[in-house]
Each structure stands twice: as C-alpha cells, then as structure tokens.
Structure 1
C-alpha cells in the first residue's frame, strides 16, 4: 500500500465525517457534524485558492490518502493566524509570590489567568489518524508534512507557531478540568461545551467566563492533576512536537486543560532542515529515508521515500515515491530526513 498527503476537497466530506465519529470527543478541529465539516472544507478550498502569497486568515486541511484505494485514512490542519475571527483564549499558568514580614513567611500561589497572548500565531492541529493505520508511521507523516507545507509557503505563516494537545478525558467522555473550572460557570457539560465550540467558536467563553485569575489551590484534586497533561493518546504527539523544537510554556487549553506548545516557526526542525531540489533521477535503489513533498497549495502532496542529494544540489529519489507524488526528472521537490 502507498499513502500520500494531499489537499482536502469537498468530495472528502463523507470520509472525514466517518473519521470524525471515531475521535471520542475533545477534538474541536474535527467535529462529527457534516455542516461544520463542510464549512471547514469550503474555508480550506478558499485558502488553497487565494492568489496572494502573504499572511492571511487561512485554514488549510490536508488528508492522508491510500493511493491504491482512494480511501482517506487521516487528516491534519494548519491555521495561518489564530484569533482573527474571534479572540483566541488560553489559560496561562503562573506563580504569585507574597511575603509577610510579621510572619516571616513566603507564600507562592499558582494562578490560571485567562489570556490572549497567542493571538496572531500560526497553528498546527486537527491531526487524526484512522485507528486501523496507527502502526505504519503515518502519524509522523501527517505531523511533519505540515511543516514541509509551511516551509514551501513560508510567507503565508506567522513567525510563531503553536500546537494544542487534547487534555485528559475520563471514561464518561467528560473533562476533570472543565468540571473543576469553567463548567462551574456555564451550566454545561464538557461534551456540550466542546461541541458548541466546534460548531460556533469560543466567543461564549469571552461572554460568560470570569476574567479574574483562578487560584489552583482552590480547585478539586481531579482538576489539579490534569493541568497541562496531555490525553494518554497524545503523549507520542507531544514527544514529536518536542523533537521539532516545541516547548510547553505554561499555556493550557481553556476547555480540557491540555498543554499548548509553542515554537519559533523558523526554528522548527522540519522547517529549518528542509529545502528544495531538482530531481535528477527517479531510479534510486538505496538512500536516506526522507519525507518528500511537491506542488503548491491545492496541488501539494507529500509521501515517504528515499533520497540522495548530489554534489550539485540535485536529488535522486526512488521510483515508488516518484509514482506516489507523480513527479519526474526535472521537477522540484522539498525534502527532510526522516
């Protein structure tokens, strides 16, 4: 079987909808709602079709396709700037230190402050892989292909980038963090709030959420334990982000308390170490394993392959990768070592 990542289109709606039903909740960027997914795909097609090569308010959706069957088996998204349609809220975990001379005692209190510090950043998100394909390294292909897309369209993305990881969800599909913090003010379950956010955005948080800092010491133990902790299925994704140069800097999601990781875009490993080259040969037998991509905007596609960089800066790739990407000698590709 051969797989490649490509731009998503409206025709992918039903397959994306079927995958969305497998996410298990807490996955705002892939709601199990046909109307919401249709709007996302329409917005993506608009982004892919925008002619001006500059920073805008774009959402790009990519899908993992089995080239033999045409099945869509995964998806991921990129946002050029968050917080443009409505504020992008996070909680920032920080410490307040106070000292009493009379008691000769210093007290340090952890606070959760509602902030919009990350507005204007680019975001990588919405990564979901069909459960049947989770043993083939395709999660890495989905994740790192986003950075190749950014490198190949650098002017369309901001200088800082973030990734939100899903927080801890209990066996009921609820969130201990939501129950201990925001849920006290909204009269909504986590699932209700999460679904509403996926469909309508989080402006209701701005309308109803108290703006004062929350003292962590006043939360119940269940909420405290999950602040900044990723969902168990997201631990591998967190390691991949760390390998790319992302770091947790105290920002957590306002719904489930999952960590928000950030990096300077040009310092992301797969952006920094990727580059273009002209294909000199498509008959490589043995070479370095790599992620290889080609195309612009809606013609973008990427796949695993083998490469060998020549002394003149040209590249040789294997025949299977060339067929998967539909490229030949003289075509330009971007690549980064796997």
Structure 2
C-alpha cells in the first residue's frame, strides 16, 4: 500500500532520484543534493514548529510504498508564497485603445508583471513515477496535501496558488521564454530554470520587463504557448481543476504555463472532506475509493482506501489500514471521495 507522509532526511537519496526525473520547469524540485537537503530540513522544522498563522514554513511530503520503503512520489506546500521575496507572475489584462475621431475601439491583450499572489499558500514539488500518473495514487499525492491544510488551517493562507509547468520541447526550449525572457538573459529556458532551482527565481524576475507586454506583438508560437500545460504536468492540472482552481488570470513568467488560483474555502478536498470516528474491524473494505488522512502533524499519514462508508456514521478500517494511518478504535480520520 502507498502512504503519504512527511519527508525525512533519510529520504534524501530517493528524493534526488525523483527530482532527477521531474520535467524541466519544476524549479521547486531541483536535482541538487544541497538544495534538496535544505528543503527537507526546512520541512522538518516547519512540521515541528508551533504555528498560529502562515509564515515562512514549507512542508514536504513523500509517497512511500509501505511494502518495501521505496519512494514513488513527492509533493509540497509553501505556507506563504514570496514570504522572503516577491512572488512574481504575469497578470492577463486588457488595454483599450480608442479613437473617437476614427471610430476605432480596440481591446488589446497585455501581460503585466505583478506580485498579486504574494502571501498566498503555494502547492509545489509534485511528482509521481510515470506508471502511477493515471492512477488514484496521483490523486493521493496531490490532494492529500489539501487534507493536511484542512486539518491545520491556521498554518495556511485563505487562498492557494499553483504554478503549472508550461510547454517546452525535447531540447528544453520554450517558445514563450525565447520570445520574452531570452531577450533579457543570454541563456536558454532549461538553463534559466536550472539556475532558478539552484538559487532563486526572484533575481531573474527582477530583470524582466516591468512595463506591459503587448501579446499581439509576440510570435505566434509564444502566443499559443501561453496557458498551455506540459504533457507531464497535465495530471496535476486536471486534478486541481477538478478541485475548483481557476486558470484565467495569471501565467508563469518563464514558460507561460498557467498559474492556478483558488480560495481555500472553495477547494473540494477542503470543503467536502469530513472528520469521522474510526472503527477497527475486518471486512471494512469494498465500496468506492476515498482519500483518508489521520489529521496529525509530524505523524501525518494519508492513504487511498476502498470504503463502504455512510455519511454520518463511523468509518470501518482494517487493522492494516489503521496501523498505517496510526489511528486506533475511537480515533478519527479525515476523508474525501476520490
């Protein structure tokens, strides 16, 4: 059975293996031992901290095969995007150019560099091994983070954002980057993303144009890339769109991929999940699949189970499932349908 839990320093080697296979553009998951080590250390400190409001904390989870201890996925949450430096995005806007004497009234699509989303909580670092992409375990890897947020709302903002990786070719070139960012940096898209993963995106963002970019002036390939999703990020996009995220207002400043945004109270896994008491008994299997989390902090665990659960009633868990979740008879879990 696959179980989601907080990452530990002992996971470092396995986490680097996952990072090495993640697509270009996932700068929150760099293939660098030092950065990944810092990421896990920061996460461990965040889980251990007493928190009453969202600040500089970051939480990093791994998806582990309980039968052999092998990691098959990971994901994370940053409590406040841009806590120590602005979180930049391109905002989609419309400018109106009009001439009364010529009877001309044109609406022009422009991109404006902004940090509107600074302070929102940020979902990051999503990766699952390719055989799991079209399974319920991809849902577990993505949505269990939201169950964690639902159980600890004081640790997170009232709104959540997600940067989805945009399109690039097999050589690591991005049409959007080549039309915009490359004019300000003498480096390829893959080089810029690698540098951002090792250092910071902010120093690059600060050198981007701070005046509006008129979209019709961009090459057709760059315009077509705006809001498009990398094939390997499609599963993340689809899951979060079903969760109620919106995609119309912002795009990534490097590759033009969509930046999703939602109020926490409107996210399905947060709004529709329920805390229910547990009964430990055999024969508690069957029915439909649910994401089930124990609601704890440092000992957070989440799994996918097929349950015959009736709303308003306790949920029956097998002894194996209860042990993996670290709950016993009379305890409680948070669950939501897959």
Partner of 1:223: 222
Provide the secondary structure at the position in 1 that maps to 2:21.
coil
Is the counterpart of residue 207 in structure 1 residue 196 in structure 2? no
Hey, what's the Cα distance between the residues in 1 that align with 2:220 and 2:210? 22
Structure 1 residue 319: Cα displacement: 4.0
Matches within 5 A, 1:106-185: 106-185=105-184
Hey, what's the Cα distance between the residues in 1 that align with 2:285 and 2:24? 44
Provide the secondary structure at the position in 2 that maps to 1:65.
strand
Hey, what's the Cα distance between the residues in 2 that align with 1:281 and 1:320? 9
Structure 1 residue 328: Cα displacement: 2.3
Distance 1:160 1:281, change over 3 A: same
TM-score by length of 2: 0.95
Hey, what's the Cα distance between the residues in 2 that align with 1:128 and 1:119? 24
Hey, what's the Cα distance between the residues in 2 that align with 1:207 and 1:126? 23
Partner of 1:328: 328
* 1:81-129 CA distance string (max 9 Å, x none): 1011111000011111121122212222111100000011011121100
Provide the secondary structure at the position in 2 that maps to 1:208.
coil
Contact 1:251 1:261 in 2 (8 A): yes
Structure 1 residue 308: Cα displacement: 4.6
Is the counterpart of residue 238 in structure 1 residue 237 in structure 2? yes
Deviates more, 1:67-76 or 1:51-60: 51-60
TM-score by length of 1: 0.95
Contact 1:161 1:262 in 2 (8 A): yes
Hey, what's the Cα distance between the residues in 2 that align with 1:311 and 1:11? 39
Where in structure 2 are there 5+ consecutive unaligned residues? none
Hey, what's the Cα distance between the residues in 1 that align with 2:260 and 2:281? 38
Provide the secondary structure at the position in 1 that maps to 2:333.
strand
Partner of 2:274: 275
Partner of 2:188: 189
Partner of 2:299: 299
* 1:55-88 CA distance string (max 9 Å, x none): 2221100000000100011000011110111110
Structure 1 residue 310: Cα displacement: 6.0
Partner of 2:40: 41
Contact 2:168 2:174 in 1 (8 A): yes
Hey, what's the Cα distance between the residues in 2 that align with 1:318 and 1:288? 15
Partner of 1:285: 285
* 1:131-161 CA distance string (max 9 Å, x none): 2433432111111101101001111010011
Deviates more, 1:194-203 or 1:65-74: 194-203
Structure 1 residue 52: Cα displacement: 2.7
Provide the secondary structure at the position in 1 that maps to 2:298.
helix
Partner of 2:264: 265
Hey, what's the Cα distance between the residues in 2 that align with 1:221 and 1:136? 35
Distance 1:170 1:277, change over 3 A: same
Hey, what's the Cα distance between the residues in 2 that align with 1:172 and 1:14? 27
